[in-house]
Structure formats: structure tokens, C-alpha cells
Chains A and B, each alone.
Chain A
Amino acid sequence: MTRFLVRRLLQAIPVLLGISFLLFVLMHAMPGGPLAMYVQQPGMSKARLAELAAQMGLNKPIWAQYVQWLTGVLHGNFGYSYVYNVPATQMMLQRFPADMELVLTAFGISVIGSFALGIFGAVRQYSIWDHVVTVISYFGMAMPTFWLGVLLLILFAVDLHWLPSGGMVSNTAAASLGDRIRHLILPASTLAVFLIAQQGRYVRSAMLEVIRSDFVRTARAKGLGERVVMWRHALRNAMIPVVTVMILNVAFLFGGAVVTETIYSWPGMGLLFINAITQADYPVIMAIVSFLSVVIVFANIVADMLYGLLDPRVRLS
């Protein structure tokens, strides 16, 4: 296990370097660039633009800029945001707790929801309830977040006045736990609906495959109770493909919940990322992209290691 982990970690280094170089080049290939937002300012001149380019180091060749960036990163310095004039890592880390709160809650809801939905659908395959669940989950997958989000907002915040219309806390009251939860309900549910629908489909098909296999029949033949057969024998084996999907979903949700964050004014990383891209704020883009690459690479390693735990046939040595 340790050897496997060390080997995978070592393999991750060239992968991450490759990703960072590729993204650095792609980012600079985007038309516009960081100076575009200065162009329309009153009194801006070509000479002043050149001064600004020099301050940001944009007048150097791209490979030199990459080497400079990488050197900084190895010293723990991702540079200063061109727009906000604060360290890019600081900006990212300030948003991280909000992301954690939203993503983990939505994920938690989705895990419970998708297992319930998936198992239910698999056990009662082709029953009327299975069809109902299938239709609901297609609906959940097909419904665009920007539409569902606004719909829930209008219903619960505007018409019913049950829940706040956005943000993480009410600014007027002290941020009590209840207040935080009230703010969390709508965005977390919006995000969870798609996840439940998608993951629920995976759980259902994985379960269907497993409950027809010989060892489940054997377990039943041994006279084991239905509950033990389902939870101990079937589910554990069905989890293998599901775990991969779920873990990668969490990784993608960090920085990927942009639409939900926008609708509910949730101060997460996704919004920061989109703003950084439109403003061509290179240091912030690179900081977030690097962070996400690390999260995704590690999520893959974690998923691989979980296989070993779930399935004794998978040997990690």
C-alpha cells in the first residue's frame, strides 16, 4: 500500500507540471489579455500600457514567464492578482471555506439521496416506482441549474419568504448556525439535485449488475436475510464504479459550481475563477487551476486506494 502510494505520488509530479505548462500556454493564447481592462480607461496611453505590461512582467517571452511563475510556486508564491493587488493564494483560500461548506453539504445530501434512489430502483426493477424514479432522475439531470436555481429562489425567497435570497449569512444578524443553515438550504439542494440524479443512475445500474451475479444467489441460497444480502454482499460490490464517479464529482465541484454560486451570490471559488478568466487575471487563474489539478489528481489516487479496500481482488502492491 505504501509503495503504491509513493509511486502514485511520484507519478503525479510530471502530470502536474505538464498540466500547469499546458494551461499556462493556453491561458496566454486567450485573446484580450490582462491589459484589456485598462484600455478604455480615461487618459490611458500606449506608453502607460507598456509600463503596466512591464510591471506585470508581460513583456518577457512566455517561457521566461513560465519559469518565473514556477520558481515562485516552488517558493510558495503564486504571485499577486493583477486586478485585486493581493496574493492569489490568499484570494483562493479566503473562498475555500465557503466552497467546502457548499460542496460537502451538497455532496452529503447527494450520497444519501443517490443511494436511496438507486437501490430502490434496482430492487424494484421495472415496477411502476422504478419508472417514476427513472423519470424523476432524468428530469433532475436535464434541468439546467440556472433555471432550477432561479425557480427555487423565486418560490422560497420571494413568494414564500421562507429562506434568504442569497449570500452565506444575513449581514444584519450575527451569523448563528441556524442562519448559516437557512442560507445553505437552497444552493446545496440545487447542486444536489443534479448529483442525486446522475449518481442515482450509476448506483441503480451497478446494483442491477451485482444482484444478478452468482455470489448474491449463493448468499441467498445460504439462507441469509435479504437485508444482509443487499447491504453486505451486493452493495459493497456495487460501490466500486460508484465511488469513482462520486469522488471525481467532489473534485469537480470545487470551482465547478459556478452557476449555483452566481445565482445565490455564494462567495465560492467558482465565481472567483470565472471573474479571473474574464479579467485575464493570470496569477489567480493559475493558482486555482493548480489547486484543482492537485485535487483531481489526488481524488484519483484516493479512488484507486478505495478499490483496494472495497474489493480484495484489487491488489495495490
Chain B
Amino acid sequence: MGEFEEPDTLNPIAGPLMFFAQEVQQSLFANLFTLQPNGSLAPDLATVVPTTANGGISANGLTYTLHLRSDAKWTNGKPVTSEDVYVTYQLETNPKVKVASNLGWNDVASFKTISPTEFQITLKKPDQPFLATVFTQTQPGIVPASVFKGMSAAQVNASPYGHDPTVTDGPYKFVSWQPGAAITVTRNPLWFGTKPKIKTIIFKIIPSTNTLLTTAEANGLNVFAGVPIQNVPQVQKIAGSKLYYANSSLFEMIYTNQRNPILQDVRVRQALEMGINRAAIVKTLLGGRGTLLAADQSPASWGYDPNLKPWPYDPAQAAKLLTQAGWVMGSGGVRQKNGKPLSLVYSTTSGNTTREATQRLVQTWLGKIGVKITIHNYEAAALFGTILPSGQGWDLAEVAYNDQAANPASPQANFGTGGSFNWGKFSDPTLDHLYAEQATMTSQSQRQPVMFQIEKELHTQLPALWLYSPQSIDSTFNMTGYQPNPWMQDTWNVQDWALTK
């Protein structure tokens, strides 16, 4: 299996979160539940998914009672118990521990161990997505108490466990990590689930798309996740290849910076959205492998409202809205208002060919309706670390965002007033009210109608210009059992993979 980047750590709680680390961790670790491709929970280390109906969640949505399997074991022979979860809880809520993410754990008010296979968690406030946030991934996941119990924060942060995780509880166990080269795992004989069909998996670190492709062509790979669209024809030609297209949790949008008075007018934002031919972007740049979006949810999310239609591409209507907003065509084809030109700076991460091509198309399309676009791009680290948070130097910023199965309300941080990542300084009382309303609800069915209202508000108000949600493209070679899952890494069902050659 090819890995584009070397994982940072295999420790389930250490940060930062990294896609490629999670991919390896999912073969080594288990958590209480897995998220199925449709976003629902299925038991893994737990025996049952708690609900208010089965009494696992209290009526007020604050207390969760969880049951663990009695046959789950760590590779050192010790059973997986409530104590492992308790130690994880202690580390996750210790501000001195460099945890990957303490989302969900920071809402926990108390933890009560009832027996080695039963424990109870009480939350400070209702958090409907709590189980999916805390108990489905492997980073952040559950750590073995036999390794971490009694360690100080400094010892945890400096623990060699992340690079030599000999005590794990997943379908595979750790064999070796050759820095910069490969990570090898082999079947775990103590695994409680079905016996993995493949004996040994090697995660090869291949940091170049070209080399990933040539390695696949030289028959050196069984899984190539994230095939770039332009390489699909070459991958199809490789013997034994099978391509998988699936809706992803990712979506692409263009933030609007509300510090600029031009963009404070919703008519201007709507004109920009209608002035961009988003269907053409998906068709030409993504080979049709994407869905146009009406708002911030990808089609894989339960917060996605299929009845909400994306804005049409309508340059005539866009021009009309701009005129209504007081922007009249001036010299040189650029609209003006009170002597000021309708000119905006459009930024994104440099080096991304799809985004750069999108920018040039957008520049042309908006130019036709009298909007002057200047492109100014930055390195990803500079864009996210410095430029976007400063709010200076950009009017439109194209970025991608990953929806969370558990919580379609997570973009609240991006669009809610005062949100940590509300880089455009967008503020809408209706939206804030809706976000607050859904936060107190305890079931998904209750939340969904409110989420749809949020979608409608985001659709009309356009704090960001909605573009598309790309499909994920993966390929396997001489292998069966692979199943894409937008909410977990591709190794989520690794025990079901089988080689055909």
C-alpha cells in the first residue's frame, strides 16, 4: 500500500492529526465503534450502540452507559477494559499532554467505572455527536492502560510508543517502522474479529505521485488511494486494477472577507456565485467526478439537503444584481461605484494545479460581468497559519473543508460569529441562533431539520461561495474487499481485504 507522506506517530492520542497516520493506525487499533460508509455507528470494541431507546443514553442526553466486549485483548494478552478508556480520558483532558484533538472529551464532566466491561460518562452539556467524535477513530483513539497508566504529561509527550506501538488491539499488529521507507504490520492472532485474510501489510512511503504511479505500474502496489484524476487512464491500463469512485466528505469553497465593504453586500456575493460556471469546473477540471454544492455539506453528510439546489450559472442575472447594488460598468470593462473599481484579490494554496486552473477560469468569467480579479497565492502553511487568520491581503480565499459524519454543524467555527476559524469575519444572527438551537438537541432526527435550515441560510447568505464536493478516486490491484468510506480512512475494513494473485 502506498503512502504519500510518512505518518507522524502511531500513538492514538498524540498530535497533530494526520491522514496517513490514521491509515496505518486503523490496521493496528480498534475503537468502540466504526462509522459505516452511510455515516451510521456499528459496534467494534463495544457490544451495542447506546441510544435513548435502549437506555444507553439518558433522556436528557447527558449520561452514556457503554459496554465493552469481554473477548477483546491487547497484543500483550491483557484484556481491553474500562480502565483503558479511563486512562485515555485522563490524558485527553490534561492540557499539558500534546493530544491530537480533545474534541468531545472536553465536554466530559465525569467518568465512572462500573466494571471492567462497563463504564458511564456524563457530559457537561448535550453533545449529540459525542460517540462518533470520541469513539470511532483511531487518532484520536484509545490507548493501552498497561503502557500509559501513571505516566506524567512530559513522559507521555516523549513516549517512544508512537514509533514502536507493540501493545495494540486491532486486526493487525506492529512489526517494524523503517524511517522514511516503510511500516510493516502483520495479522494479530489475539484479534477478536474475523481473521484478516492478508497476512502482512507493508505501508510503503512514496512521497511522489509519479513514483506512486510507476511503482503501481511495476506491480509494486496493491492499494493506491487518492489517484489524481489526470492519472486515471494510466491506472486503468495496469493489470488487475480496479477503480473506486465514491462521494467524499470533502468540499471546496471560496471564503468571502467581510472586512471588505464590497463583500458585505449579499447581492454582490450572490452575483459572484452566479457569475462562476461551477458545472464547467467540475466537468473540465474534475472529469465530472464531483457534485455541485448549494451550501457547506457534501452529499455524503446527513446534514446535506438534497432538495436545496445549487445557484445556477447566470451571468445576466449576476450583472443585474451588481447594477442593483450600485456597481455600474466603467472604463476598461470594470464596474465602479463612487469612483472605486469592483476589484478583488483571490487567494489559495500555491502549487495546486486544479485550484490554479479554477482561479484562471473564475478570473475570466467574473471579468465578463465587470469584476476585476487579482490572483495572489500563498504556501499552504503561510495561508492557514498567517494570511487567513490576519484577514489582510485577501478578499476571496479558496480552501477545502472536511465534513464530519458526526457533526455537520462543525463549520460553525468557520461561519458562526466569533468562530475560531471565521476568517472572513462573517456574522449572521439567524445563523447563530440556529447553531445554538441544534447544539442542545440530543438526537440526529431532531437535529436534521435544523441543519437543513442552517443549509438554507448559508445558501442564501453565501459567507463563502460554494463550489463542489469532489469524489474520492482510489485504485486496488489484484485485490478484493476494498470499500471506500468517506468517514474513515480506507483501511477501515482492512481485515476484509484479500489478494487475488
Question: Are B103 and A32 touching (Cβ within 8 A)?
Answer: no
Known interface pairs A36-B385, A271-B180, A278-B381; A46-B420 also in contact (CB < 8 Å): yes
Question: B184-215 vs A: 1/0 string, CB under 8 Å?
Answer: 10000000000000000010111110110011
Contact call A267/B378, Cβ cutoff below 8 A: no
Asked if B210 and A268 sit within 8 Å, CB to CB, the answer is: no
A-B contact count (CB 8 A): 173
A103 to chain B, nearest CB (A): 15
Contact call A271/B380, Cβ cutoff below 8 A = no
Sample (16) of A-B pairs whose CB atoms are under 8 Å apart: A31-B382, A36-B380, A37-B16, A43-B133, A46-B420, A80-B157, A83-B16, A150-B210, A158-B218, A165-B220, A166-B206, A167-B182, A265-B206, A267-B180, A275-B5, A275-B207
Q: In whole angstroms, how far apart are the Cα atoms of A41 and B421 in the complex? A: 10
CA distance A90 to B319 in the complex (A): 60
Q: Tell me the bound Cα distance from A83 to B98 in angstroms.
A: 10
- A264–B210 alpha-carbon span in the complex (Å): 10
The distance from the CB of B361 to the nearest CB of chain A, in whole angstroms, is 25
| Stretch in contact with the other chain, from A13-21, A91-99, A293-301 | A91-99
Set B101, B159, B217, B384: member contacting A158, Cβ < 8 A: B217
Interchain CA distance A66-B390 in the complex, whole Å: 26
Known contacts A83-B16, A165-B218, A275-B6, A265 near B385 by CB under 8 Å: no
Pair A38/B218 contact, Cβ less than 8 Å: no
Q: Is B116 an interface residue (CB 8 A)?
A: no
Q: Is the CB of A263 within 8 A of B178?
A: no
Name the B residues within 8 Å of A36 (CB-CB): 380-382, 384-386
Please measure, in the bound complex, the distance between the C-alpha atom of A6 and the C-alpha atom of B163, giving whole angstroms: 41
Closest to B387 in A: A31
Interface residues of B in 161-185 (CB under 8 A from A): 162-163, 178-182, 184
Q: Which chain A residue shows the least CB distance to B400?
A: A40
B102: Cβ under 8 A from any A Cβ: yes
B158 touches A80 (CB 8 A): yes
User: Contacts A42-B410, A267-B179; is A31 near B14 (CB within 8 Å)?
Assistant: no
Question: Closest CB of chain A to B105's CB: distance in Å?
Answer: 10
Which 8 A-B residue pairs are closest in the complex by CB-CB distance?
A: A267-B180, A43-B103, A32-B381, A36-B385, A31-B382, A32-B385, A31-B386, A36-B381
Interface residues on A, range: 35 or more
Q: Is A272 an interface residue (CB 8 A)?
A: yes
Interface positions of B from 1 to 57, Cβ below 8 Å from A: 5-6, 8-9, 11, 14-17
Interface residues of B in 367-399 (CB under 8 A from A): 378-387, 389
Interface flag for A218 (CB, 8 Å)? no
- A153 in complex: contacting residue of B104, B159, B211, CB < 8 Å: B211
Q: Contacts A30-B381, A158-B217, A271-B207 given; 9 further ones with Cβ under 8 A?
A: A31-B382, A39-B384, A42-B133, A42-B402, A166-B206, A264-B211, A265-B204, A265-B211, A267-B178
Which of A51, A98, A263, A280 interacts with B210 by CB under 8 Å?
A263
Of A41, A51, A166, A279, which is within 8 A of B211 by CB? A166
B429 within 8 A of A: no
B344 to chain A, nearest CB (A): 22
| Cβ of B350 to closest chain A Cβ, rounded Å | 12
Q: Name the interface residues of A19-62: CB closer than 8 Å to any CB of B.
A: 30-33, 35-46, 48, 51-52, 55
Residues in A whose Cβ lies below 8 Å from that of B420: 44-46
A278 proximity list for chain B (CB < 8 A): 379-381
